[in-house]
Amino acid sequence: MITSAAELHRFLLKNQNFDFHPEHSRDLDLYRKMKQRLGLPEGEFISALESRHVSAEAYLRALIAVAEPLSKMYTDIINYCERSNFLTASGEGLIQWQVETDRGNVDFTIEAFRHFEQLKTLMPGDYEQMQRVKNDVMDWMGHEVTNKLSIDIRDNNIDWSALELFSILKRANKIYGDEHYTIFKGLNNCYIGDRHHEKNGHIEEIVKNHPGYAELLTEVQTHFGHENILQIASEFVELPFWKFRWQVYEIWIIAVSCQQLSRCGFQLKVAQDGRSPLALGKTATLATHPHSDYKLIYQPRYVNQDNDAIHPDLVLTTDENVTAQNSMLIIECKQRIELTDAHIDIVFNKYSAGVCPQHGQVVVVNYDDIDNHRHVNNSRQMLFTQVSPDTTETQAFEDFLQQTHLFKRHLNEVWYIDISHSMRHYFNGEFQDFVTEKADLSAEGGQVKIWTFAHEVMSYEGESYPGLVDMSGETDGVNNEVRGMERLCQHIISQQIHYPGSRIYIITDLVDDLGYMLRQQGIESNTVSIINPSK
């Protein structure tokens, strides 16, 4: 039986195609995070596991913990593609998506995430689950079993370990450390302590044949039995977001980029058979814009202005025959903890020569946090490190994409601002600045349209909002509100017909009422956002 971390690590490397090595530069940060979680010093990983006597359970917990961001990326990809109608249903009715890679196909299905969540619940050594099961065992023995036994459960010398349930508990007591002492204290006193040595086959049969025994045995096997460790670990390393972790990261960066670009009108391109055009390592057009020649191309091969061959991950360009002159933005994805300043300079020099000299921009994103790296932050070059789900760097990367010259030129938004009397308290200087910013984007060539509404829908011409409220002639009467919302819905429908793909925003304090009316009119919520100014 494998009980140590070192044994489990070697087992996975030998028998499960683990492919997790410190010498892989991409895996270095994961190793560093595992060492931190296990309290290991710097140095050779296996030696540290052995010298600190790390248990297999602790090792697997640390491994699962460092995989959580990868799991989150996987579900982010599924959620994004589902919202974009980019997923297909399998014969079993499960939503799934498949991406071809040089290491095999990566399947994206919500069932993989559910399997991961289930494996976590099966992990032995979970303190809360162990405490719960121990209490169930103690209550069952103390209340139900004693009805059939003429002994004092609290004062007996019976050797209960002949029963598999208590044998597992006794073995677990020797494996787990002091942090689980309170769990085993009661069990030691009544069932698995050193004084319990008297054999009693009659009592064993009564307990074993009790209706509640089988169910509790399963619970004890699940949460105390180390036999589960190998099975859980073997199933975990086959999960797609671990087995294909860096391919998933690259796809996640693509999904984050596409999601931001969709806000200015870019649309995912889907092949005629409903399959994704994305195959890692192969050039493909991933997204196009309905009102311009721009398109997002994955891993094109072309020559930059210095006559160097380049192969960036993502390029926004006006032509599938990609050149430096027709490219506006390069996004390059890295997974390195040792990203030196020299390497950063090489990447930026090569790729900056691969975009338009006037407005072209280059952004490099890295999964790991890089120690002591040179900060790169200017109008044409950006480096973001520690880009993973829910980090401030990921938010900064998304904000950067929204500030690019190309994004602003393609911004495709329709804003409706409620100017009825109930809104007058919200029209402060900050609100006016926000609307002015949107108006400026429209003037710069962005597709941003601003309308006001009360009892009528009118084009915004730059007036101050307190003045518009005074001029609206609208009171807060229910009939007036309903009539105004009906006209707003009709106007939204006409905008969707004339400007397909536009994102619609409504600023109003009538969030619930308007949301209900939009649904009644058949206007889908995934194309309209209602913003409450009081939030």
Give the tens place of pLDDT for each residue, 395-406: 999 999 988 878
Q: Is 461's pLDDT higher than 60? A: yes
Q: Is 298's pLDDT higher than 50? A: yes
Amino acid at 204: E
pLDDT value of residue 471: 46
- Phi then psi for residue 365, to 5 deg, are -115, 140
Residue 163 CB contacts under 8 Å (≥ 6 apart), including other chains:
204, 207, 208
User: Model pTM?
Assistant: 0.70
More confident call, 474 vs 317: 317
Helix, strand, or coil here: 312?
Answer: coil
More confident call, 526 vs 117: 117
Strand partners of residue 296: 287, 316
DSSP symbols for 404-460:
SHHHHHH-EEEEEEE-SGGGGGG--HHHHHHHHHHHHHHHTT-EEEEEEESSSEEE-
Amino acid at 97: W
Measure the CA–CA gap between 313 and 334, rounded to whole angstroms: 10
Give the tens place of pLDDT for each residue, 136-157: 999 998 888 877 777 777 667 7
Which range, of 29-43, 355-369, 425-439, averages the lowest pLDDT?
425-439
- Beta strands at 327-334 and 361-366: parallel, antiparallel or unpaired: parallel
Residue 276 is classified by DSSP as -
Q: Model confidence at 413, in pLDDT bands (50, 70, 90)?
A: confident
Measured over the CA atoms of residue 235, residue 236, residue 242 and residue 248, the dihedral's sign is positive
Return mean pLDDT, the chain. Answer: 81
Give the tens place of pLDDT for each residue, 107-121: 777 788 888 888 887
Q: Which of 174-183, 291-300, 427-436, 445-454 has maximum average pLDDT?
A: 291-300
Instruction: Specify the DSSP element, H or E, that contains 15.
Output: helix 5-15
Residue 324 is classified by DSSP as S
pLDDT value of residue 91: 47
Q: Is 495's pLDDT higher than 90? A: no
- Beta strands at 412-418 and 447-453: parallel, antiparallel or unpaired: parallel
Q: Is 373's pLDDT higher than 60? A: no
Measure the CA–CA gap between 172 and 186, rounded to whole angstroms: 14
Helix, strand, or coil here: 310?
Answer: strand
CB 10 within 8 A of CB 237: no
Q: Is 206's pLDDT higher than 80? A: yes
Q: How far, in whole angstroms, is CA 351 from its chain's centroid?
A: 29
CATH topology for 245-404 is Trna Endonuclease; Chain: A, domain 1 (3.40.1350)
Residue 355 is classified by DSSP as S
Measure the CA–CA gap between 504 and 242, rounded to whole angstroms: 38
Helix, strand, or coil here: 107?
Answer: strand
pLDDT value of residue 268: 81
pLDDT value of residue 407: 82
Give the tens place of pLDDT for each residue, 34-64: 999 999 887 788 888 888 888 888 899 999 9
CB 419 within 8 A of CB 463: no
Task: Give which of 268, 272, 277 is closest to 299, Cα–Cα.
Answer: 277
Q: Is 27's pLDDT higher than 50? A: yes
* Integer CA distances (angstroms), 112 to 238, 250, 312, in order: 10, 18, 30
Across 355-370, average pLDDT: 88
pLDDT value of residue 514: 86
Q: How far, in whole angstroms, is CA 467 from its chain's centroid?
A: 45
CB 446 within 8 A of CB 410: yes
